[in-house]
Structure 1
Amino acid sequence: MNKTMKKALIGSGLVVGTLAAAGVWSYAITKKLVEIALDRNEDKSVEESKKHIAGNPETSAFIKVRENAAEKLEGSSYDIVEITAQDGIKLVGHWRFCKNPKRIIIAMHGWRSSWARDFGLIADFFYNNDCHVLYAEQRGQNNSGGEYMGFGLTERHDCLEWANWVSTQEYGNLPVYLCGVSMGASTVLMTSGFELPPHVHGIIADCGYTSPHAIWKHVVENNLRLYYDDMMSSIADEMCRAKIQVGSKDYSCPDALAECKVPVLFIHGTDDDFVPVEMTYENYKACASQKRLLIVPGAGHGMSYVIDRKLYEQTVKQFWADFD
Structure 2
Amino acid sequence: MKKVLATFVLTAFLAVSGCILAAGYYLGNYLVGFGLVRGTAENPMAPPRAYALLMPPGTWSYTRPDAPSEEWTLESDDGLRLVATHFTPAHPTGNWVIVAHGYGCTQENSYYIAANYLAMGYDVLTPDLRSSGKSQGTFVTMGLKESEDIVHWARRIADAQPKARIVLHGVSMGAATVMMASAASDLPSAVVATVEDCGYTSAYDLLAYQMEESFRLPSFPGMNLLDWRCEKRAGFSLHAAAPAEAVRRAKVPILFIHGTKDTLVPPVMAEELYAACTTEKKLLLVQDAIHSAASQQDHELYYRTVQEFLKGKVYGT
TM-score tier, shorter chain, comes to 0.7 to 0.9
Query: Is the CA contact (8 Å cut-off) linking 1:221 and 1:228 kept in structure 2?
Result: yes
Against the structure 1 CA distance between its residues 25 and 271, is the aligned structure 2 distance closer, same or farther, given a 3 Å change threshold?
Answer: farther
**1:166-205 equivalence runs, <5 A:** 166-170=157-161, 172-195=162-185, 196-205=187-196
User: Which residue of structure 2 aligns with residue 79 of structure 1?
Assistant: 70
Shift of 1:250: 2.9
Pick the aligned partner of 2:289 from 299, 321, 324. Answer: 299
| Residue 125 (structure 2) pairs with residue 134 (structure 1) | yes
- Matched residue type, 1:41: G
| Percent of matched pairs sharing the same residue | 27
Which residue pairs with 1:255 in the alignment?
A: 245
Residue 227 of structure 1 pairs with residue 218 of structure 2: yes
CA distance in structure 1 between the partners assigned to 2:213 and 2:202 by the alignment: 16
Aligned length: 308
Contact kept, 8 Å, 1:271 with 1:297, in 2: the verdict is yes
Please give the TM-score of this superposition, normalised by the length of structure 1. 0.85
User: In structure 2, which of residues 146, 159, 166 is the aligned counterpart of residue 155 of structure 1?
Assistant: 146
2:182 and 2:246 in contact (8 A); partners too = yes
What are the ranges of 5 or more consecutive residues in structure 1 without an aligned counterpart? none
**Which secondary structure does the structure 2 equivalent of 1:122 belong to?**
helix
Alpha-carbon offset, residue 263 of structure 1 = 0.5
- For residues 51 and 245 of structure 1, do their structure 2 counterparts lie closer, same or farther at Cα, with a shift above 3 Å needed? closer
CA distance in 2, matches of 1:32, 1:137: 25
1:100 CA displacement: 2.3
Q: Displacement, 1:245?
A: 2.5
What letter corresponds to residue 34 of structure 1 in structure 2?
V
Q: How does 1:44-59 map to 2 (within 5 A)?
A: 49-52=50-53, 54=54
C-alpha separation between the residues in 2 aligned to 1:89 and 1:59? 27
1:104 aligns with 2:96: yes
Judging changes above 3 Å, is the alpha-carbon distance between structure 1 residues 29 and 285 closer, same or farther for their aligned structure 2 residues?
Answer: same
Q: Look up the equivalent residue of 2:121 and give its one-letter code.
A: D
Label 1:18 to 1:277 Cα distance change in 2 as closer, same or farther (>3 A).
farther
The alpha carbon displacement at 1:321 in A equals 1.8
2:201 aligned partner: 210
Q: Aligned-residue CA RMSD in angstroms? A: 2.8
Q: Distance in 2 between matches of 1:75 and 1:98?
A: 9
Distance 1:279 1:257, change over 3 A: same
Q: Which residue of 112, 118, 124 maps to 1:121?
A: 112
Aligned partners of 1:27, 1:275: CA distance in 2, in Å? Answer: 28
Checking the alignment, whether the CA contact within 8 Å between 2:36 and 2:48 is kept in structure 1 is no
CA drift at 1:137:
0.7
Q: 1:245 to 1:19 in 2, by over 3 A?
A: closer
TM-score by length of 2: 0.87
Range that drifts further, 127-136 or 244-253: 244-253
5 Å-filtered alignment, 1:236-275, equals: 236-275=226-265
How many angstroms does 1:233 deviate by? 2.8
